[in-house]
Chain A
Amino acid sequence: MTDYSRRMSLFRRGMLDSVPIVMGYVPACITFGLVGKSLSLGNWEVFLLSALVYAGASQFIGAKLLAAGTLAPIILLLTLIINLRYGFISTSFSQRINRQSGLWSKAMVGFGLTEEVYAISMISRRNGERKEKLSTAYLLGLELPPYAVTLLSTWTGIILAQYIPEHILPALNTSLYALLIALIVPQLRGSKRSIVICISAAASSWLLEPYLGASTVLVSMMIGAWAGGRTSLKKTNGREAA
């Protein structure tokens, strides 16, 4: 196989793996378009929050802050705090990518690195290719469709803002949680450490959410990962993922 066709097949595999993410993002981004409009932001402001920030829940917070006319330095500081989790996610991720890849490809991969992309790529790695680095071609294939549908669905939401009954949307948004659960549950089988991580992260997130709001994930993911490190390091072999 030539280098080109090898990369194309990796790219296609990435796109295939991205299907569940895409299904989660479509309703979420339509909702974002609707919510943005209901906060009476301009069409382009709503769209650019998706296109440039591209950070899930923190977009909603950003939209609310913008609509409330919060001062720019405060908005930027809050953006930094809320999205600090990406720093940790990316640090963890950086050990799995090809370090020799160029600046430009690292920039593209970095831009598209959402929680869901991170989870899917880390888990697909566990399926028999533990040693292998994730190739740039695969990652771009995995990241491109979710970003493309984010743009399309946000715009769709902006346009639909006049027609859609808003009360039906939360039900559609559960698709993102179904994706999360489908990623979590298979990891819990036969691994005491995974169960400890899951329960401590979920419990701390639940308890802290009323106080920390959007920054909760940052704190509770540290608690979960730390608690997992405290449990016996005896390797369990049941950590296969779907």
Chain B
Amino acid sequence: MTILLIAAMGIVTFLLRFTPLLLAKKVPIEGKSSGFLDNLPLAVLSSLTIPGIFQVDAETPWVGIAAGLTAVLLVCIRKVPLFLVIVASTLAALLVKVI
């Protein structure tokens, strides 16, 4: 029974992702709405990051902050490869946690 419910949850989620692709018009949407959609990626990323990063470790918010600061620094300083940024930030978080 629970399995069926999970499958239904999966179908709901899938339809949300699939239907817009299916309905995509041959002619791209231009103008205002397109500007709005262009802004979405950054808006989604930003709202996923904050406040989530402060809550990633409920007991020690510094864990998330350390990872965040490391990531920002590395991205700003140089063209560090993306996976190195992630490894370094995670290590920083682990370090703070252990200390």
Within 8 A of B (CB), among A152-184: 167-168, 170-175, 177-184
Chain B residues within 8 Å of A122, by CB: 41
Q: Choose one: B57, B82, B94; the contact of A242 (CB below 8 Å).
A: B82
- How many residues does chain B have at the interface if contact means C-beta atoms less than 8 Å apart? 73
**A90 and B19 in contact, given A173-B56, A197-B42, A229-B32 (Cβ under 8 angstroms):** yes
Secondary structure type dominating chain B contacts: helix
Most buried by B among A199, A205, A209: A205
The distance in angstroms between the C-alpha atoms of A175 and B3, with both chains bound, is: 30
- How many A-B pairs have beta carbons closer than 8 Å: the answer is 273
Q: Give every chain B residue within 8 A of A206 (Cβ-Cβ).
A: 50-51
| Given contacts A103-B22, A229-B36, A182 and B10 within 8 Å (CB-CB) | no
Known: A177-B52, A181-B75. A171 touches B41 (CB 8 A): no
| B29, B42, B50, B90 — most chain A CB neighbours (10 Å) | B42
Q: State the B residues within 8 Å of A (CB).
A: 2-3, 5-10, 12-14, 16-26, 28-29, 32, 34-53, 56-59, 63-64, 66-68, 70-72, 74-76, 79, 82-83, 85-90, 93-94, 96-97
Interfacial residues, chain A to chain B (CB-CB below 8 A): 19-20, 23-24, 27, 41-42, 44-45, 48-49, 52-55, 58, 62, 66, 72, 75-76, 79-80, 83-95, 97, 99, 103, 106-107, 109-111, 113, 115, 118-119, 122-123, 167-168, 170-175, 177-187, 193-194, 197-206, 209, 216-217, 220-226, 228-229, 233, 242
